[in-house]
Amino acid sequence: MHIHILGICGTFMGGIALLARASGHRVTGCDANVYPPMSTQLEAQGIGLIEGYDAAQVDLKPDLFVVGNAISRGNPLLEEILDKGLPYESGPQWLADEVLREKWVLAVAGTHGKTTTSALLAWILEAAGLEPGFLIGGVPQDFGVSARLTSSPFFVIEADEYDTAFCDKRSKFVHYRARTAILNNLEFDHADIFSDLAAIETQFHHFVRILPKSGLIVANGGEASLKRVLARGCWTPVEWFGVADGWQLGPEEPDGSCRIGLAGDEIGRLSLPLAGEHNRANALAALAAARHAGVAPAVALDALARFGGVRRRLEVRGEARGVTVYDDFAHHPTAIAATLDGLRRRLDGGRILAVLEPRSNTMKLGVMKARLPGSLEGADLSFCYAANLGWDAAAALAPLGGRASAFEDLDALVAAVAAAARPGDRVLVMSNGGFGGVHEKILAALRT
């Protein structure tokens, strides 16, 4: 079968492309924004990419069009598909029907940490010899691809609450038929499709309603929002983490490790290459979920100590003139603050220069602008790319005084970062997109 994917360079749809190809299908696709790491990953797998959504792509005559949720009515290719009555399906529906049927699905949901926690969980299962399939919204360094299809009954998936497609406004995760579910956290996001936190909680409740009684929910006990979700009805056993009668993290030791326990009984010691309390909590949730799939905690702890990380999560992109440039996917104020804290804890002195692109739909709408100064407090200097925003970034960042500046021009931002940086500094670039190749531009400017 020939499948043509609309929006193929999104992290989810790119994963769908890899799974479809592994299933034996011929796969092509198109997107308006083709950038690494997804574009290079797809090209390496021999998947043809077309820039843009020209209606003439129907002449490829695929057997099925798979439509990503970034595609809206008015898109010329989508309109041609609809006018001609050609077969189409959403990515999550295709995944449910063609890949996840009869699998033991381990789904990782939450506003933050889904990608890292999914990668941690897949790595634990791999280290235990279970050879899981997976679809993750990033590229785990331990696997080198964002999605993999295996004959194993286990499949790990990053369970996103964003809507499914133009034709299906339910959250993606209701399609996945999970047996093991991690509910990592829950706060307001996706302001372009959700009116408030209560609306997102309703979608999480829809997800909880379809989990089997033989399954398991691993939930963050520190989140009032998740407690409200489960109070609306829950038919599946729950193991809480971050509470005295559930899974617990001990204080961080001088070597960066910490003890973990379950209901007061010590289980072992967690040594994780990732920095930050949030990542230790991600690892604890992954360990608990893997235990439900039959992996002993000792095996999981050994695997976690060898975890290689995920691309675009505090990934070093290069060094020039004694300045190290990092890349991170953080784009929500909570994630920005956690990422800065994680990097700060990793450093032995030196300044952090934060370079931020408020690119997500939520950030573009300005819903979170009042929280930006607080989220950037951990940076010594902050540089915000303010092009195409509907709000005044300079005014929003005014509480930071001279520590923050906003730029409409990318080259001017790069020049300012290069001028401010000095040996020993770390430049932390945060965006959920390609950011105009700013990482290489900063490195090039530092070298001149």
Are residues 123 and 194 located together in one domain of the fold?
A: yes
Taking only the tens place, the pLDDT of each residue in 72-89 is 999 999 999 999 999 999
Token pair in block for residue 270: 């967690």
What's the rounded Cα separation, in Å, for the pair 192 and 435? 21
Are residues 277 and 341 located together in one domain of the fold?
A: no
pLDDT band at 35 (very low <50, low <70, confident <90, very high): low
Taking only the tens place, the pLDDT of each residue in 277-303 is 888 999 999 999 999 999 999 999 999
Q: Does 144 reside within a domain? A: yes
Q: What is the rounded average pLDDT of the residues 114-120? A: 94
Residue with tokens 């804290």: 341
Instruction: Residue 246: name the closest of 224, 221, 266 by CA.
Output: 221
Instruction: Residue 51: name the closest of 444, 43, 234 by CA.
Output: 43
Lowest-confidence pick of 3-7, 36-40, 274-278? 36-40
Whether residue 371 contacts residue 363, with contact meaning beta carbons closer than 8 Å, is answered with no
Q: How distant, in Å, are the alpha carbons of 276, 318, 320, 435 from that of 444?
A: 30, 10, 8, 15
Are residues 289 and 334 located together in one domain of the fold?
A: no
> Any idea what the CATH number is for the domain that residue 57 is in?
3.40.50.720
Which residues on adjacent β-strands are paired with residue 153? none
pLDDT confidence of residue 137: 86
Whether the predicted pLDDT of 195 surpasses 90 = no
What's the rounded Cα separation, in Å, for the pair 71 and 166? 7
Whether the predicted pLDDT of 174 surpasses 80 = yes
Are residues 327 and 294 located together in one domain of the fold?
A: no
Which residues on adjacent β-strands are paired with residue 28? 4, 48
> Any idea what the CATH number is for the domain that residue 416 is in?
3.90.190.20
Per-residue burial over 304-322, b = 16 or more CB atoms within 10 Å of its CB, e = otherwise: beebebbbbbbbebbebee
Are residues 173 and 237 located together in one domain of the fold?
A: yes
pLDDT confidence of residue 360: 78
Phi, psi (degrees; rounded to nearest 5) at 299: -65, -40
Parent domain of 387: 315-447
Higher pLDDT, 387 or 156: 156
> Any idea what the CATH number is for the domain that residue 291 is in?
3.40.1190.10
Whether the predicted pLDDT of 448 surpasses 90 = no
pLDDT confidence of residue 249: 92
Taking only the tens place, the pLDDT of each residue in 370-421 is 889 999 999 999 999 988 888 899 999 999 999 999 999 999 999 999 999 9
pLDDT band at 276 (very low <50, low <70, confident <90, very high): confident
Are residues 231 and 255 located together in one domain of the fold?
A: yes
Whether the predicted pLDDT of 346 surpasses 90 = no
Are residues 278 and 360 located together in one domain of the fold?
A: no
Q: For the whole model, what pTM was predicted?
A: 0.80
Are residues 419 and 330 located together in one domain of the fold?
A: yes
Whether the predicted pLDDT of 331 surpasses 80 = no
pLDDT band at 148 (very low <50, low <70, confident <90, very high): very high
What's the rounded Cα separation, in Å, for the pair 165 and 209? 21
Q: What is the rounded average pLDDT of the residues 42-65? A: 93
By DSSP bridging, strand 247-249 and strand 258-262 are antiparallel
HSE-CB of 25 using CA atoms within 13 angstroms:
25
Q: What is the rounded average pLDDT of the residues 339-353? A: 86
Residues 6 or more apart whose Cβ sits within 8 Å of residue 164: 69, 90, 91, 92, 93, 170, 171, 172, 175
pLDDT confidence of residue 191: 67
Q: Does 310 reside within a domain? A: no
Which one of 304, 324, 359 terminates a domain? 304
Q: How many domains does the chain have?
A: 3
pLDDT confidence of residue 419: 95
pLDDT confidence of residue 189: 76
What's the rounded Cα separation, in Å, for the pair 41 and 19? 13
Taking only the tens place, the pLDDT of each residue in 363-378 is 777 778 888 999 999 9
Are residues 113 and 230 located together in one domain of the fold?
A: yes
Q: Does 96 reside within a domain? A: no
Are residues 273 and 325 located together in one domain of the fold?
A: no
3-state secondary structure the chain: CEEEEECCCCHHHHHHHHHHHHCCCEEEEEECCCCCCHHHHHHHCCCEEEECCCHHHHHHCCCEEEECCCCCCCCHHHHHHHHHCCCEEEHHHHHHHHHHCCCEEEEEECCCCHHHHHHHHHHHHHHCCCCCEEECCCCECCCCCCEECCCCCEEEEECCCCEEECCEEEEHHHHCCEEEEEECCCCCCCCCCCCCHHHHHHHHHHHHHCCCCCCEEEEECCCHHHHHHHHCCCCCCEEEECCCCCEEECCCCCCCCEEEEECCEEEEEECCCCCCHHHHHHHHHHHHHHHHCCCCHHHHHHHHCCCCCECCCCEEEEEECCEEEEEECCCCHHHHHHHHHHHHHHCCCCCEEEEECCCCHHHHCCCCHHHHHHHCCCCCEEEEECCCCCCCHHHHCHHHHHHEEEECCHHHHHHHHHHHCCCCCEEEEECCCCHHHHHHHHHHHHHC
Are residues 157 and 212 located together in one domain of the fold?
A: yes
Whether residue 156 contacts residue 100, with contact meaning beta carbons closer than 8 Å, is answered with no
Token pair in block for residue 397: 């960042």
Which one of 91, 125, 145 terminates a domain? 91
pLDDT confidence of residue 293: 97
Which residues on adjacent β-strands are paired with residue 148? 134
What's the rounded Cα separation, in Å, for the pair 249 and 47? 43
Q: Does 342 reside within a domain? A: yes
Instruction: Residue 392: name the closest of 369, 412, 375, 374 by CA.
Output: 369
Token pair in block for residue 168: 């299906």
Which one of 91, 126, 147 terminates a domain? 91
Token pair in block for residue 282: 């991600």
Instruction: Residue 41: name the closest of 155, 164, 136 by CA.
Output: 136
Q: Does 172 reside within a domain? A: yes
Q: Does 192 reside within a domain? A: yes
Are residues 153 and 174 located together in one domain of the fold?
A: yes
Q: Does 33 reside within a domain? A: yes
Question: Left if phi > 0, otherwise alpha if psi is -120 to 50, otherwise beta: which for 435?
Answer: left
pLDDT confidence of residue 11: 83
Per-chain mean pLDDT for the chain: 92
Q: Does 268 reside within a domain? A: yes
